[in-house]
Amino acid sequence: MKKSNLIALARTMMATSFPELRGMTLKLKVIDTEDYVMATWLEGKEIHLDLSREDAARMGRSVIIGVLAHELCHAEEDRRHGPFLEALFSWLYERFPSLETRMERRIDFAVIRKGYGNELLAFQRYHDLHYEPYDQTDGLTAKEIEEALRHSHSPGRAPLQDVSRARASRWRGPR
């Protein structure tokens, strides 16, 4: 997916499903990295998303929505904590992997509650195909997401309205 489309998609998701991120500015970079598919951190009112170039070129739309939803849930939790608590938690996560595991699994459940479970599953399958498959200490596995979706009574999310396209279409009608 092209960078401009990625940014439009992330902005649309923020407006649709991440009310706590309202007023924040998105900074998305496509970079060469072997370390991750996507990383997120907050700096004041900016949300930074770094995305691996190789994955950006290879991921389909639903896979990208899945990883974006996961990262935006991290951003939402970080914002709720604020910079001081967040620094403390990062310190703890480095020293106590079991705390990090619980956090990653909590984030994945938040993604499902927001109605992005199918996309999270698409991302997990993509990840397990191209990288070392997740185990339960990394977050929810594909199997666990499937299970959660079977038991989920979430009404699902509202369909994503592409903000930029909606605006453009207004110019097409007869005057």
Question: What residues make contact with Zn ion under the rule CB under 5 A?
Answer: 104
- Scored b (16 or more CB within 10 A) or e, 82-94 reads eeeebeebeeebe
Cβ proximity to Zn ion, 50 vs 104, nearer residue: 104
Between CA 112 and CA 157 the distance in angstroms is 10
Give least dist CB 82 to Zn ion, A: 19
Cβ proximity to Zn ion, 76 vs 104, nearer residue: 104
Give least dist CB 140 to Zn ion, A: 11
Give least dist CB 174 to Zn ion, A: 48
Give least dist CB 138 to Zn ion, A: 9
Cβ proximity to Zn ion, 4 vs 140, nearer residue: 140
> Which strand (E) or helix (H) includes residue 79?
helix 61-95
Between CA 52 and CA 56 the distance in angstroms is 6
Cβ proximity to Zn ion, 141 vs 163, nearer residue: 141
Give least dist CB 20 to Zn ion, A: 17
> Which strand (E) or helix (H) includes residue 46?
strand 46-52
Cβ proximity to Zn ion, 138 vs 162, nearer residue: 138
Between CA 15 and CA 96 the distance in angstroms is 34
Report the residue number whose CB is nearest to Zn ion: 104
| Residue that has been written with the tokens 């998303």 in this structure | 49
Between CA 56 and CA 83 the distance in angstroms is 29
